[in-house]
Amino acid sequence: MPRLKKTEQPPAKDRHWSRQVKDTSSALDLEAGVFSLTDPKAIAKSLKRSADGSQRRKSDPFRSAMSMLNFYINRAGRRLQPEQRKCLQEAKDELRVLYGRPRKNPRQAKAVNKKNRS
């Protein structure tokens, strides 16, 4: 693709590549409106159902679900309302709990590493 000046817009078909990724992704088939839910547990459960039931995903269900959640958060960017961003961040933690992968606290990891060195 040729380099564009700052004032130029890319062709219309190229501007919405993220929608195509969302619609045709090999990661998983999402339930409609999953990211507009206000309950983090409901979002995590929906993503888990979608990931576990998907035949198109290329990696394990946890990774596919977390990947799609991160994709949505990153693509929404500044347009994402603070309350919804907080809800989606909490959904990440709920997803970890559902898959039995608790978040590692960086401080605890450093303390364990120092302890093992001595």
Per-residue pLDDT averaged across 42-57, rounded? 87
Helices 82-98 and 61-76 cross at an angle (nearest 10°) of 170
Per-residue pLDDT band for 102 (boundaries 50, 70, 90) equals confident
Report the alpha-carbon distance of residue 29 to residue 50 in Å, rounded: 6
Output the pLDDT for position 58: 77
Report the alpha-carbon distance of residue 48 to residue 65 in Å, rounded: 6
Output the pLDDT for position 44: 92
Residue 8 has pLDDT above 70, yes or no: no
Residue 78 has pLDDT above 70, yes or no: yes
Residue 14 has pLDDT above 80, yes or no: no
- Of all residues in the chain, the percent with pLDDT exceeding 90 is 19
Per-residue pLDDT band for 91 (boundaries 50, 70, 90) equals very high
Output the pLDDT for position 71: 87
Per-residue pLDDT averaged across 93-112, rounded? 74
Report the alpha-carbon distance of residue 53 to residue 49 in Å, rounded: 6
Residue 110 has pLDDT above 60, yes or no: no
